[in-house]
Structure 1
Amino acid sequence: MAYSLSHSYIGDNFASQFNWYNGVDPSRGFVHGRPSVRLESKKAYNGGLFIADFEHMPPSECGLWPAYWLYGPEWPSNGEVDIIEGVNTATRNLLTAHTSDGCYLPKDAKQITTGDPISFNCASGRSNATGCSYFATYGDQSTYGSNFNDVGGGVYAMDWTPEDIRIWHWPRYAVPRDIIEKKPDPQSWGRPTALFGTSSCTPNQHFRNMNLILQTNLCGDYAGNVWSSDGACSKLAPTCAEYVANNPSAFKNAYWKVNYIDVYEKGHSKKAEPTTTTTLYTTSTVTETVTQTAPSSSHNPSTRSLPLIVPGPSSPDQEAIVPDQAPIEPEPCPDGHDVWTTMIRPPAQTPSPAAAYEDDLSWESPSPTPSSPDSEETDFVIENSAPPPKRAVITILFPLVLTIIRLLL
């Protein structure tokens, strides 16, 4: 039975289909000292074909820990699959599965994939969260970070069936025609980069009710813990958190630029959605959305000029919030837009100083409710400029998360 499109994260519906996670970071990232964002899909999955087209991802920069992944509740009982992951100056993608006991990579993993298996036991827990992993092959130099961006990004696909979970990557210039035409056929793609499953790990027993995650973490259990062993990064500062806090300009390109994430299922019939693209640019204080109707061939990367840009870790020119240092006034939105602009900005307020790093582990969660533009006492002020034709930009400035929480309470 062939796959058919069941859900498409694209255009105006992208942001509305994700929850902005604002809990304490379980990986202990420095994500409030320099605010960043983690998105979790509202819909959970138990199988399917997931195709993600990224035009840009956070680069190979010290302090960064970006990831595109899925995980289920009660970790690791219902599994986790990391499709894109790396830290600091890495240039090879790391693909990993985390499960309860009893799941292993196939013994012949090296022969049936193009990746390099580095650990075979997928069982994970608080004391050992390594999981089972593959590094992308050295033969593909564009799987992660700066190298990925240098070729205009590319596509990752994950095929999750009752038999196994397989993951592929293609650079921009090699995306299969069947993916571009939205008629994907995994059987025609050759050996995957990574494979989890077969007789050594039954997917239905180890991977259930998993949500899509897109995030840019900072330091934390991975990037922070390997800091001292990274020769390039450890020369820049004694610790990861110190470097991230004191070098805002290093993260000006730490964002995701998403063309689309499509989910296909077998036996599912869905009417095609309008071919629109959305750009969502957000920092700790700014979100910008651009919507444009695209040609019918919009999934062709050459036609998708307005992809979706997902959070970088706070404004490049905004100082990080560190102990004993009050936050500076956020930089204003970039100007010069030749489009219809709606600006939702907070009134002038003085944010409170951040707590110590140990308490600075909560993610940003921008969720403002615009109020009357006529009152200076309202939470937000709305301003409109004259609209030119064909496209629209919505620019939203959000207050710092502590101020938002106080207003909502």
Structure 2
Amino acid sequence: MGWENTPAQPKAGPASFQVRDTDGPVEMVTGPPPYYSTQGQDYSDYPRRNMRSQSAAPWWNPRSWSKKTWAIVVAAAIIILIIVIVVPVEVTKANRYPNYTKLNYALADEYSGTTFFDKFNYFVGYDPAQGFVHYVPREQATQLNLTYASEDSAIIRVDTSVGPESVPDASTGRFSVRLESQTQYENGLFIFDVKHTPFGCGTWPALWLVDPANWPDHGEIDVMEAANKATDGNQMTLHTTDGCSMDVKRIMSDSSLSNDCYNATDNNAGCGVRGSAATYGSAYNDAQGGIIAMEWRNEGIRVWQFGRSNIPTDITAKNPDPSSWGSASADFPNTNCDIGSHFKNQSIIANIDLCGQYASALYASSGCPSNCTDYVANNPDAFTSAFWEFGRFEVYKAT
């Protein structure tokens, strides 16, 4: 009945026997169990079966991980590296900001009193920005009463004498003035006392700095600018060649309009910042104006506006200290703009343009009647409020 291990043992054949049943004999076949040879077999290495389940390898043992698990682990490691290394770098980059250390300033130049206009050249001819004006020389401006100065104020006006019945009339443009300082500046602190700003349908006045012979290579700094009814407040803007952007950390109180200063972007919109309604136009004029200060240094360009009742005492004492003035109205840091290479040899310019590229583009949306050039040509009385009144300009250099 057991297994036979002897190889020479003959295999048993079937054996038969008979069993009688009541119905007759029945033949049954029987024999020994099958023979299994174990010669030469070594069962010592065969796996032993265990009725209990084998315990799985711990999850933290990499030898037990599948390819899918490895892929997940590698992806997680990459994400962690990005968080640990890349994110801090980007955060640091986003928070870069120049060090506006305090500078000591001394008065270097001044435009004031009855000689205010003596340090300016009068630009003569048609406007480079396609304005609907004839810029007149000093003699004609004086004759038409477009520029005049007293001990306290200097006035720049648009002509209000030429109407549609005049000969010649204003059908090719109205008389106006554009002043350009004879001195050109690089860096400094500029203090402008502005008592009245021009406004009205068709107007495009500006107080700005530029190198007229090298625009846009030497940049442009718009300190005060508006168009038509000027109800939106003052706009402060930089215009440059390529490679000057303000999509960086800035510390200022007014609102950014655009971050790309490149003159070929968005029809030369520049990187502008807009102040509140009280910073330009009728609201500003009703409050007797104020001081606008622009600091230009390698770290950046900043502009502050102070109402007449809120002028810092260090300005009135001619010892200005921008570090004590708090956040600027407009901040143009050098983070992504090399100020030193983009801005050079700037003249101070004050003008009152009419229509032109900017005011014409905004004319209809400003709620102004007719079209810009027809309105300007035929309505001289509409420009009685279109004048600048300045107190004094002061230019300070760092010592």
Q: TM-score range by the shorter chain?
A: 0.5 to 0.7
In the TM superposition, residue 253 of structure 1 has moved relative to its aligned partner by: 2.1
Aligned to 1:90: 230
In the TM superposition, residue 190 of structure 1 has moved relative to its aligned partner by: 0.6
Partner SS for 1:27 = coil
Aligned to 1:159: 295
Looking at structure 1, the residues matched to 125 and 219 of structure 2 have their Cα atoms a distance apart, in angstroms, of 20
In the TM superposition, residue 74 of structure 1 has moved relative to its aligned partner by: 1.9
Partner SS for 1:149 = helix
Looking at structure 1, the residues matched to 264 and 124 of structure 2 have their Cα atoms a distance apart, in angstroms, of 23
In the TM superposition, residue 24 of structure 1 has moved relative to its aligned partner by: 2.9
Aligned partners of 1:106 and 1:197 also within 8 Å: no
> 2:256 is matched by which residue type in structure 1?
P
Write the deviation string for residues 170-201 of structure 1: whole angstroms up to 9, x where unpaired.
Answer: 11111111111111000000111111232211
Alignment of 1:101-116 (within 5 A): 101-109=242-250, 112-116=251-255
In the TM superposition, residue 247 of structure 1 has moved relative to its aligned partner by: 1.1
Aligned to 2:264: 125
Aligned to 1:22: 124
Partner SS for 1:200 = coil
In the TM superposition, residue 75 of structure 1 has moved relative to its aligned partner by: 1.2
Write the deviation string for residues 237-262 of structure 1: whole angstroms up to 9, x where unpaired.
Answer: 1x101111111111112111111000
Aligned partners of 2:107 and 2:396 also within 8 Å: yes
**Uncovered stretches (5+) of structure 1, i.e. residues with no partner:** 268-409
Alignment of 1:333-344 (within 5 A): none
TM-score after normalising by structure 1: 0.61
Alignment of 1:149-228 (within 5 A): 149-228=285-364
Aligned-pair identity (%): 44
> 1:264 is matched by which residue type in structure 2?
Y
In the TM superposition, residue 47 of structure 1 has moved relative to its aligned partner by: 0.6
Partner SS for 2:386 = coil
Aligned to 2:79: none
Partner SS for 1:12 = helix
> 1:53 is matched by which residue type in structure 2?
D
In the TM superposition, residue 217 of structure 1 has moved relative to its aligned partner by: 0.6
Give the ranges of 4+ consecutive aligned residues of structure 1 lying more than 2 Å apart after TM superposition. Answer: 125-128
Partner SS for 1:221 = helix
Does residue 99 in structure 1 map to residue 240 in structure 2? yes
Count matched residues: 257
Partner SS for 2:393 = strand
Aligned to 1:7: 109
Alignment of 1:1-400 (within 5 A): 1-32=103-134, 33-59=173-199, 61-72=200-211, 73-91=213-231, 92-109=233-250, 112-125=251-264, 128-136=267-275, 138=276, 141-230=277-366, 232-233=367-368, 236-237=369-370, 239-267=371-399
Aligned partners of 1:38 and 1:216 also within 8 Å: yes
**Uncovered stretches (5+) of structure 2, i.e. residues with no partner:** 1-102, 135-172
* CA RMSD after TM alignment: 1.4
Aligned partners of 1:41 and 1:211 also within 8 Å: yes
> 2:383 is matched by which residue type in structure 1?
F
Partner SS for 2:375 = helix
> 2:305 is matched by which residue type in structure 1?
H
Aligned to 1:329: none
Partner SS for 2:392 = strand
Write the deviation string for residues 118-170 of structure 1: whole angstroms up to 9, x where unpaired.
Answer: 1001010398311111111x4xx421111110100111000111111100001
Partner SS for 1:35 = strand
> 2:287 is matched by which residue type in structure 1?
V
Q: Where is the helix percentage greater, Structure 1 or Structure 2? A: 2
**Higher CA-based Rg:** 2
Aligned partners of 2:248 and 2:335 also within 8 Å: no
Looking at structure 2, the residues matched to 2 and 105 of structure 1 have their Cα atoms a distance apart, in angstroms, of 27
Looking at structure 2, the residues matched to 248 and 157 of structure 1 have their Cα atoms a distance apart, in angstroms, of 33
Partner SS for 1:229 = helix
Looking at structure 2, the residues matched to 205 and 108 of structure 1 have their Cα atoms a distance apart, in angstroms, of 21
Looking at structure 1, the residues matched to 205 and 196 of structure 2 have their Cα atoms a distance apart, in angstroms, of 12
Aligned partners of 1:106 and 1:196 also within 8 Å: no
In the TM superposition, residue 228 of structure 1 has moved relative to its aligned partner by: 2.3
In the TM superposition, residue 84 of structure 1 has moved relative to its aligned partner by: 0.3
Aligned partners of 1:106 and 1:198 also within 8 Å: no
Aligned partners of 2:221 and 2:238 also within 8 Å: yes
